Structure 1
Amino acid sequence: MKQYSDRQLQIIKTVTESGFSAIEALSEHFSVSTQTIRRDVNALCEHGELRRVWGGVEPPPVSGNLLYAKRRILNVRAKRQIAAEVARHIPDGSSIALSIGTTPEMVIEALQERANLKIFTNNLNVAMQASARHDWSVTIAGGQVRAGDRDILGSEVEAFFDRFEVDFGIFGVAGVSPDGGLLDFSEAEVGARRAILKNCRTSVLVMDHSKLGRAAHMRGGNLSEVDCLFCDKPLPDHFAASLGSARVIIAPAFESDGADLGNTPREGTSQ
C-alpha cells in the first residue's frame, strides 16, 4: 500500500472537501513553494488519488458511487451551507421525509433548532441524529440495511413512504444529466426518491454543484418535477434551461430570502 506524507494526506483531504483547489492556494495553505506542491500533486495523481485539471487539481472521477465515509467529507462546506439554508425554510412542527445520502443527513444536523418535527426516513444516520431530540418523532423504514451506506432500500421502503403525506420531502441525487435528468446508481435508489417526491406537499432537491453533469447510469425523474432545488452555486444556463415549466425554484444558499418553502410562489426562472 502506498505510503503518503502527512502533507500529501492533508492535500487529499483539502481537495476532497472543496472539490477543486488551485496549486497557488495549496502552496499558500501549506506554506511551501508551488514547486513542492506540484511534486506532491503529481505523485498523488500518478496513484489515482487526484486528477490534474486546468489551474489546479480535483478528486478523480468515479464510475460508481463513493464509499459513504468519502462522500461524507466531499464538498462538505457546500453541503453544510445548503443544509443551513434549507433549515431556515422549515418551520417548527413540520413533517419531513428524508432520503439517503450525506446532504439530507446534514440537513437534519442543521434542523436542530426546530421544535416538534416529525421525521420519516430510510437513512439510519438521519434517524440516529433525529432520535436524540425528545420533542421530535422519528419513523424509520424496515428492511435490510445496506452495508457501508447505512440506509435501507427496496419495495418495502417505497411502500413505507406511500403510507404518509408529509409537508416536505428532502432528497439528493447522484447526478444531473445535461437535459435535467435526475440520476442514481440503482433502481432502488430511484424508487425511494420518487416515493418521497410523490408523497410530499413540497419536494426539495438538495445537491452541491459537483452533481451537475456527474455520471450515474440509472435515470429517474427530471429537475422540472421538483418544487425547490438548493445548490451552493447557480445552475449554468444549459441546466437552467431544462427546468421547463414554472414548477421549479432554484435557490442558491447564499441568495435565498428565508421564506417558508411551502409558501414560496413557483416561478419558472432561476433564483
Structure 2
Amino acid sequence: MDHMNMSGFHLNISSGSDARQTAIAQMLRSRDFISVEELAAHFAVATQTIRRDLVALCDQGLARRRHGGIESVGPGKGQGKNVAFRDRSVLNREAKQSIASAVAAQVHDGQALSLGIGTTPQFVAEALLSHRDLKIVTNNLPLALTVGQNSDFALVIAGGTVRGTDLDVCGSSVDDFFAAYKVDVAIFGVAGVDEDGSLLDFSEDEVRVRHAMMRNCRKSYLVLDSTKFTRAAHVRGGRIDQVTAVFCEAEPPVTIRRMLDQSGVQFVRSSEAAARP
C-alpha cells in the first residue's frame, strides 16, 4: 500500500518495521520533530509500535528521542532555530498544563493581561477560559484563537507579518503595540535559561517582544517547563531574576533557585501547587 509521506514522497509502508523506520528517517530530513501520535496516525499502527520503531532509530544514531516524539540529529538540524509551533505543542504537555493551572490560579477576574509567544502561554490561555471579564493583548495567533472562544473577554491582537512556523507577530511594530497598554500581568515564556540566569531566545525579535511586555506591566510571570534549564539558544536578553514570579513544574538548578531567592522572585512549583487542597 502506497502512502504519501510529509515531504510529498510516495512510500511503500506495508512491509513492516524496517520500511516504517526508513520512512520516518526520510520524514526527519524536512522536520525537526515529529510526535508519536502523528506517526501512529500516518502509518495506521498503534503508538506502542511506533515507540519501538523510534527506539530502533535512536539505537542506530539516526534520531534522538524527545518527550512525545522524535527529533532529527542531522547536520545543522535544530541548531539556532526553534521547533515549529505545532510540534512544540505536544512536547512536555503535562508539565505545561500543570504550569498553566498554577498561573490561572493567580489571575483574577477583570484583570488586564499581555500573553506572549510560545506554547506554554497558549496552555495558560486555555486554563484562563473559565475566568470572566479579562482584557488580553497578544501577538500569539493560536493563543488569540483560544481566547476568542470566551465572548466575555476583550481581545486585542498585534498586526504585522506572521512568522510562518511560529505563528506569531514580531518586529519593531510590536514594541509600540505593547506600549499602548498598561497591563496588570505580563505572561511569557523563553527558549532557554543559561546557568548564569540569562534568558535565551532564538532571535532578537523574540527578546524585543519580551522586553516590551516587561516594560508595560505591573507584574511579570515567566512560564517555563524544566527542560528549558538545559536548552541552548543563542540570543541573550534579560535575566531570570528580573521577573516577578517564575512558574515551573519542577525545581530549577540549585544556582538558579538561589538566585531567585536572593532577588525576591517568587518561585511557583506547579506540581506542588496542584497538590494543595
2:219 is aligned with 1:202: yes
1:206 and 1:229 in contact (8 A); partners too: yes
Q: Distance in 2 between matches of 1:215 and 1:113?
A: 35
Q: Distance in 2 between matches of 1:173 and 1:122?
A: 15
Tell me the amino acid that sits aligned with residue 121 of structure 1: T
Q: Distance in 1 between matches of 2:70 and 2:163?
A: 28
Structure (1 or 2) with the greater strand fraction: 2
1:79 counterpart (76, 93, 96): 96
1:43 counterpart (53, 57, 80): 57
Match of 1:266 in 2: none
Q: Distance in 2 between matches of 1:95 and 1:72?
A: 25
Deviation of the 1:134 alpha carbon = 1.2
Q: Distance in 1 between matches of 2:88 and 2:274?
A: 29
Cα 1:15–1:175 shift into 2, 3 Å? farther
Match of 2:260 in 1: 243
**More off after superposition, 158-167 vs 169-178:** 158-167
2:196 counterpart (179, 183, 198): 179
Deviation of the 1:125 alpha carbon = 1.0
Equivalence map 1:39-118=2 (5 Å): 40-46=54-60, 48-51=62-65, 62-63=78-79, 64-118=81-135
Q: Distance in 2 between matches of 1:180 and 1:224?
A: 7
Q: Distance in 1 between matches of 2:265 and 2:255?
A: 15
| Structure 1 unmatched runs, 5+ | 17-28, 259-271
Measured against aligned partners, the alpha-carbon deviations of 1:116-144 in whole angstroms (never above 9, x if no partner) come to 00000000111111122111100111111
Q: TM-score, normalised by structure 1?
A: 0.77
Tell me the amino acid that sits aligned with residue 103 of structure 1: T
Deviation of the 1:244 alpha carbon = 6.5
1:180 and 1:243 in contact (8 A); partners too: no
Match of 1:269 in 2: none
2:243 and 2:265 in contact (8 A); partners too: yes
1:96 and 1:166 in contact (8 A); partners too: yes
Using the aligned pairs only, state the percent identity: 39
**More off after superposition, 237-246 vs 152-161:** 237-246
Q: Distance in 2 between matches of 1:95 and 1:221?
A: 23
2:140 counterpart (115, 118, 123): 123
Residue aligned with 2:160, SS: coil
Tell me the amino acid that sits aligned with residue 146 of structure 1: R
2:229 counterpart (200, 212, 224): 212
Tell me the amino acid that sits aligned with residue 125 of structure 2: I
Residue aligned with 2:249, SS: coil
Q: Distance in 1 between matches of 2:176 and 2:133?
A: 25
Q: Distance in 2 between matches of 1:149 and 1:181?
A: 22
Match of 1:151 in 2: 168
Tell me the amino acid that sits aligned with residue 83 of structure 1: A
The list of structure 1 runs, each at least 4 consecutive aligned residues, that deviate by more than 6 angstroms after superposition, is none
1:231 and 1:251 in contact (8 A); partners too: yes
Q: Over aligned residues, Cα RMSD in angstroms?
A: 3.0
1:15 and 1:59 in contact (8 A); partners too: no
| Structure 2 unmatched runs, 5+ | 1-8, 12-18, 26-33, 39-46
Deviation of the 1:48 alpha carbon = 3.5
Q: Distance in 2 between matches of 1:131 and 1:192?
A: 22
Tell me the amino acid that sits aligned with residue 208 of structure 2: G
Measured against aligned partners, the alpha-carbon deviations of 1:208-245 in whole angstroms (never above 9, x if no partner) come to 00000211000000011001100010112022233364
Q: Distance in 2 between matches of 1:120 and 1:202?
A: 15
Q: Report how many residues are paired.
A: 235
Residue aligned with 2:212, SS: helix
Match of 2:187 in 1: 170
